[in-house]
Amino acid sequence: MRKNDIIELDITAASSEGAGIGRYENKAIFVPLTAIGDRAKIRILRDKKNLAFGKLEELITPSANRCEPDCESFSKCGGCVWRHISYDAECEIKENKVYEAMRRIGGIDMKPQPLIRASDTERYRNKAQFPISEDGSVGFYATHSHRVIPTPDCRLQPQVFSSLSSALKEWINKTGVTVYNEETNSGLVKHFYLRNADATGELMAVLIINGDNIPHRELLISLLREAAGENLKSVQLNINKKNSNVILGEKNILLYGKEYIEDILCGVKVRISPLSFYQVNRTMAEHLYNKAQEYAEPQGKNILDLYCGAGTIGLSMAKDANSIIGVEIIPDAVKDAIVNAKENGIENAEFICGDAAKAALQLKKRGIKPHAVIVDPPRKGCEEALLNTVARDFCPERIVYVSCDVATLSRDAKILETLGYRLIEYTPVDLFPRTAHVETVALFLKLSLPDGK
């Protein structure tokens, strides 16, 4: 088999990134935009020793799971990967993805609980970070590239995001403001960052720039307000002069309104600043947090919430818990968490700004003995030093792990097992329908407890 060969292939599986997989001459062939059950003609693009990558040339027999894609940008931008199959088929793939990662990486042959399906697969995202093309169009990067695919209306985002994006393009074209060029590290406008509070309707617009200020700011504010109406509560600049893949810088400048927007999550009023972590799908985040609370059993107990962001997980349990201590490294998020507790009349919550591993050691010195530790780390998972501190120094009865990457969860599950914690149950939750991503929440119990309770 060589590059540009055309082969016939039966698609029998799907990869974690959304490509269909078939086998040819005992070699796995990865083909985007195919579906399990397809028989197709495939052009080989790259051939390696144990696998190959191909391109769909012609469908011979389409899968029963196929449906007509409903987005012009699908297959071009790096967002959705499952718009060409039914949601039932997508859920089956995601559930299997979580199980296979646990089995292969974690060495844990335990089936997950049934995936908690999304209540809505359209317009669910409350956050978007748009790169900008040279003509001022906003969109998303093509897969594995920094080439901007203009996306007039992404079906995962609220429609008002499209109106705000059009307003930004109009401002760029009217003023001649330059767009950032990665290769030369020149140009002013880098990204357009939008947040929407589903429960309150409040909107935030943040322009990320390679500079200290922008010209014609009043025109920008006017165009954005015209596009979004009274719901636009915050317009800010974010300063990021670094030539890196990190989108947000550390400094924000308020141009209009207030420095935050407010939403309601699990009955808790939540303040959200530009740098605060907040789940992108509020409705499904409530399902996720309810499952985390079920696993944590916080009633009358002390709960330690690591990587707490704006405090949303811990605060959702505060009414039942004896105490909540949250730890987060981003100062603005900690400020939001403190305000969130105060505005909701929650007096049994404390928030600490610092690295999770170092803060855990500080809490150990204070004699903190939590019943349950909740970790909600970034995609890279938990540092092994942190897991050691949690398991050996705090010795909680329960560890509840909220994961946005099941591969790192599986790796950390294996580490926790060596530290005396057994995986009891884990549940995938579909916060990101039509994309390859899936959230998972897992319960670990200390082995020395009688009957695993």
The encoded tokens of residue 256 equal 């209009």
Q: Which residues of 77-87 are buried (b: 16+ CB within 10 A; e: fewer)?
A: bebbbbbbbeb
| CA–CA gap between residue 69 and residue 376 (Å, rounded) | 33
Q: Which ranges constitute the DSSP H helices of 371-448?
A: 384-388, 406-418
DSSP helix/strand/coil, 228: helix
| Contact present, 413 and 442 (Cβ < 8 Å) | yes
| CA–CA gap between residue 165 and residue 156 (Å, rounded) | 15
The size of the chain, in residues, is 453
CA atoms within 13 A on the CB side of 405: 12
DSSP secondary structure of 116-160: B--S-SSS--SEEEEEB-TTS-BEEEBTTS--EEE-S--TTS-HH
Give CA 252 to chain center in angstroms: 22
Q: Distance of CA 222 to CAs 173, 175, 232, 236, 324, Å?
A: 15, 14, 11, 13, 42
Per the annotation, the verdict on 353 as an active-site residue is no
Mention every residue, 6+ apart, whose C-beta is less than 8 A from residue 317. 293, 296, 298, 303, 324
Inter-axis angle of helices 217-228 and 159-175, nearest 10: 150
Mention every residue, 6+ apart, whose C-beta is less than 8 A from residue 277. 309, 310, 328, 330, 333
Which of 154, 266, 382, 404 does the annotation list as catalytic?
404
| Contact present, 428 and 115 (Cβ < 8 Å) | yes
Q: Which residues are catalytic?
A: 404
